[in-house]
Amino acid sequence: MFLKRLSRNYLVGKDPRAPLFYREQGNKKFQEKEYMGATVFYSKGVSHSRPNTEDISLCYANRSAALFRLGQYEACLKDITRAQVHGYPERLQHKMMLRKAECLVTLGRLQEASQAISDLEGSFTARPTLATPQSQVLQKSLSRLKMKLQEKENLIETPPAVLSTACEEDMGLRERSEQIPSASSSVRLCTDPLKGRYLVATEDILPGQLLVREDAFVSVLNPGELPPLHHGLESEWDTRVTNGDLYCHRCLKRTLATVPCGGCSYAKYCSQECLQQAWHLYHSIECSVGGLLLTLGVFCHVALRSTLLARFEESGQVLKKLCGKIGNKDICLPESKNPMKKFPYDLGGESGENDKSIETPIPGCDTNGKYENNYNAVFNLLPHTENHSPEHKFVCALSVSALCKQLEESSMVEESSLQAPTTGLKSSKLEAAETPALCAELDIWGVAMLRHMLQLQCNAQAITTIQQTGSEERIVTDSRQVRLATAVFPVTSLLNHSCSPNTSVTFISTVACVRASQKIGKGQEILHCYGPHESRMAVAKRQQKLRSQYFFDCTCPACQNEKHRIGTGPRWEGFCCNRCRTPLQGSNVLSCGNTPCMESVRRDHLDSRLQDLQQQIGMAQKLLRKGQLEQAVPLLLGCQREAERFLCEEHTVMGEVEDNLAQAYAAAGDWQKSAAHLQKSLRVVELRHGPSSIEMGHELFKLAQVFFNGFAITEALSTIQKAEKVLLIHCGPWDDEIQELQKMKSCLLDLSPIPGGPSM
Ligand SMILES: [Zn+2]
Ligand SMILES: [Zn+2]
Ligand SMILES: [Zn+2]
Ligand SMILES: [Zn+2]
């Protein structure tokens, strides 16, 4: 009852009064020329509309107008078709058809465009009664468009430049490992009693080399950081924009033109294909329990979806087989007592000369010793049952049983229903009633879900993305990493942790790419960072975090080295001497490291000084956002002077001040000053994260933008080269920033005079 009450705070159904509200909100934004905001509101309207209603067609039509203004012509055309499919009213057709023709002309699809134009003309002549002023405006636009079409037709048609079609191939692995198909042949799976399973290099690996490329077995979009809206506050409907409004709930692609599920208002997709896939794979069952899933949290959702996906492997028998062998009750037993470990694995096939280790069965592998991205591998990830607190285990069990109870109630548990989502859910409910042995199946699901819940604390991987912050029109973009989804990657999960890892992980939609971030010698272990990185967290904090979340004591080289220096704190939080700028040392009272100087200060004094400074910076940032540069710049310059008096040169706040100054000058159009400050901030980042770190790559990208906008061609080109080199190692050639850098480069090369070339 309590959970049900909580679930009601999430509006997951379709509210028939909402489409009108959101459409009006969208229209308001549209009038203010805020087309992005308008699009999101129309999308919200769409997700609350029933299929084949005037509501849904009007929302799609209005969204097509906003997309048109944003220059997203392909998406605009799709929305026009959607509006028509759902019965767009006849009386409004002309305006939308004109928009369609305009899109087609702009896109250079001239044949279709002239067809659309003649259709429109036909409908005008067919109904000559349309002599209203409005139709006269339309007629005028039509003849303008015809001229534009003719102009385009007269131009010699150049085929659009074809971007390399090798894209997909290049993104793949050069040579696949036979043992782990989602990994490169440069790595091998090993196991030993102390480390468990881990990956090692079978040959020398170069920085930037792709080691693992795997699609998530399961992923669930994080709904966003916002709490549910309590009814009665502000307006009844949520006007906030979250990740759930901007990314496809299946493939995680960013899109402004979402298509909603026909049965609920919270699941939205980038396309009809994603919608149908999601429905087929899991959403037909999740749809009715959306509120509860949002209440219970994303781990519970991942656990449910994993078991739903298991139905599709080996005709849905995997789970039953796994559970059948050990009996339901033992599925969550601690590893030491788990009979799962003693499965007889028949490891035939060729084994290498030094493959002794493989003779003992490796959990998660199939009978041929192959480790694949499948349910068997996911099932065999460690649940660490003996390490979790009783409270945690209780909450997990309670969540799973509540979910099972509601699934039973909505009697939606059935073998995959191939029901088309747009036709609603009624008929699938009927089918469910005919499905026998419903409860027996649910038992197995529940136990498996509980196992997954326990696994997730150590094995869930956050899919992150770089999101541009600040307003759209800002020329130098700032970015931050956001958590987009929670996922399980069975191969990436094999990597052990290091606070100074030798790999970098990036994501393309739901695919994880693990690249070597430095040279890795043959036989060395492949390591990645679970979060607590040596350049982001002090050693004591890291140790505590790894112990409480992952249940181990980190003995990585970074931790070993830093242990001797415990008490001094990380370099990027250090203070320096007021008089001679030597770093200060000590705990409660800090003294100058330069012996003749004798200066000493109390820590709480420095802490409060830092607090004041951060407050000032916060104020300056607010002014910056509002575009009040005249006030922001002097305030920031004051902060800079104050920071230099007592903070170490690699202190994070020093970099922050310089970065804000760079932003302020860029906004004012003073590229030279902007670049100078950005270079200072770059030095702070370099000292902290190292010259070839991903953080450095992002900073260099920003600097390249500044030089580019200031037409400093030589500086821009050399910075682009540096940025490319760093980003390639971590993100590979198809990264957005790399693509952007290449565009800038080709633009600059067109501009710069070729030395010694013919002058024309
Ligand atoms: Zn999608
Ligand atoms: Zn739904
Ligand atoms: Zn460590
Ligand atoms: Zn001193």
Distance 559 CA to ligand 3 centre (A): 4
Tell me the average pLDDT across 503-521.
Answer: 93
Distance 536 CA to ligand 3 centre (A): 12
Distance 381 CA to ligand 3 centre (A): 22
Task: State whether residue 242 is helix, strand or coil.
Answer: coil
Q: Is the pLDDT of residue 715 over 70?
A: yes
pLDDT digits (tens, 9 = 90+) for 717-751: 999 999 999 999 998 888 888 999 999 999 888 87
pLDDT of residue 407: 86
pLDDT of residue 418: 40
pLDDT of residue 345: 34
**What tokens does 236 get?**
């009844």
Distance 250 CA to ligand 1 centre (A): 5
Distance 277 CA to ligand 1 centre (A): 9
Ligand that comes closest to the CA of residue 282: 2
pLDDT of residue 607: 92
Distance 618 CA to ligand 4 centre (A): 29
C-alpha 60/C-alpha 79 separation (Å) is 5
Distance 88 CA to ligand 1 centre (A): 25
pLDDT of residue 456: 95
C-alpha 372/C-alpha 352 separation (Å) is 19
Distance 283 CA to ligand 2 centre (A): 6
Q: Is the pLDDT of residue 426 over 50?
A: no
Question: What crossing angle do the helices spanning 539-550 and 438-459 adopt, rounded to 10°?
Answer: 160
Distance 488 CA to ligand 2 centre (A): 22
Rounded mean pLDDT of the chain? Answer: 82
The percentage of residues in the chain with a pLDDT greater than 70, rounded to a whole number, is 81
| Residue 461, beta-bridge partner list | 487
Distance 690 CA to ligand 3 centre (A): 17
pLDDT digits (tens, 9 = 90+) for 193-245: 888 899 999 999 999 999 999 999 999 998 765 666 555 444 567 788 888 88
pLDDT of residue 364: 85
Distance 47 CA to ligand 2 centre (A): 10
Distance 699 CA to ligand 4 centre (A): 32
Distance 507 CA to ligand 2 centre (A): 26
Distance 633 CA to ligand 4 centre (A): 30
pLDDT of residue 445: 83
pLDDT digits (tens, 9 = 90+) for 307-328: 988 877 764 566 666 665 555 4
Amino acid at 310: A
Residues, CB-to-ion distance under 5 Å, ligand 1: 248, 250-251, 253, 270, 274
**What tokens does 733 get?**
């050639």
Ligand that comes closest to the CA of residue 266: 2
Distance 307 CA to ligand 1 centre (A): 21
Ligand that comes closest to the CA of residue 265: 2
Tell me the average pLDDT across 255-274.
Answer: 92
**Selection from 299, 131, 628 nearest residue 636 by Cα:** 628
Distance 274 CA to ligand 2 centre (A): 13
Distance 723 CA to ligand 3 centre (A): 28
Distance 598 CA to ligand 4 centre (A): 7
* CA atoms in the 13 A half-sphere facing the CB of 589: 3
Whole-angstrom distance between the N-terminal and C-terminal Cα of the chain?
Answer: 81
Q: Is the pLDDT of residue 616 over 70?
A: yes
pLDDT of residue 318: 63
Q: Angle at the Cα of 606 (from 602 to 611), degrees rounded to 5?
A: 145
**Selection from 290, 244, 293 nearest residue 270 by Cα:** 244
Distance 656 CA to ligand 4 centre (A): 24
pLDDT digits (tens, 9 = 90+) for 297-308: 999 999 999 998
Distance 577 CA to ligand 4 centre (A): 5
pLDDT of residue 752: 63
Residue 183 DSSP one-character state: B
pLDDT of residue 546: 93
Going by C-beta distance under 8 Å and a sequence separation of 6 or more, which residues neighbour residue 624? 632, 660, 663, 664, 667
Distance 443 CA to ligand 3 centre (A): 40
Ligand that comes closest to the CA of residue 554: 3
Distance 537 CA to ligand 1 centre (A): 35
C-alpha 510/C-alpha 501 separation (Å) is 22
Q: Is the pLDDT of residue 429 over 50?
A: no
Distance 645 CA to ligand 4 centre (A): 11
Distance 565 CA to ligand 4 centre (A): 21
Ligand that comes closest to the CA of residue 263: 2
**Selection from 740, 734, 726, 695 nearest residue 508 by Cα:** 734
Ligand that comes closest to the CA of residue 594: 4
pLDDT digits (tens, 9 = 90+) for 351-384: 333 444 444 578 888 888 889 888 889 988 999 9
Q: Is the pLDDT of residue 337 over 80?
A: no
pLDDT of residue 129: 56
Distance 596 CA to ligand 4 centre (A): 8
What would the DSSP string read from start to end of 561-584? HHHTTTTS--GGG-BB-TTT-PBE
Distance 504 CA to ligand 3 centre (A): 16
Candidate from 87-96, 242-251, 360-369, 636-645 with smallest mean pLDDT:
360-369
- How far CA 338 is from CA of 52, 69, 376, in Å, comes to 53, 60, 15
C-alpha 481/C-alpha 469 separation (Å) is 10
Is 0.85 surpassed by the pTM of this model?
A: no
Distance 175 CA to ligand 1 centre (A): 28
C-alpha 366/C-alpha 333 separation (Å) is 21
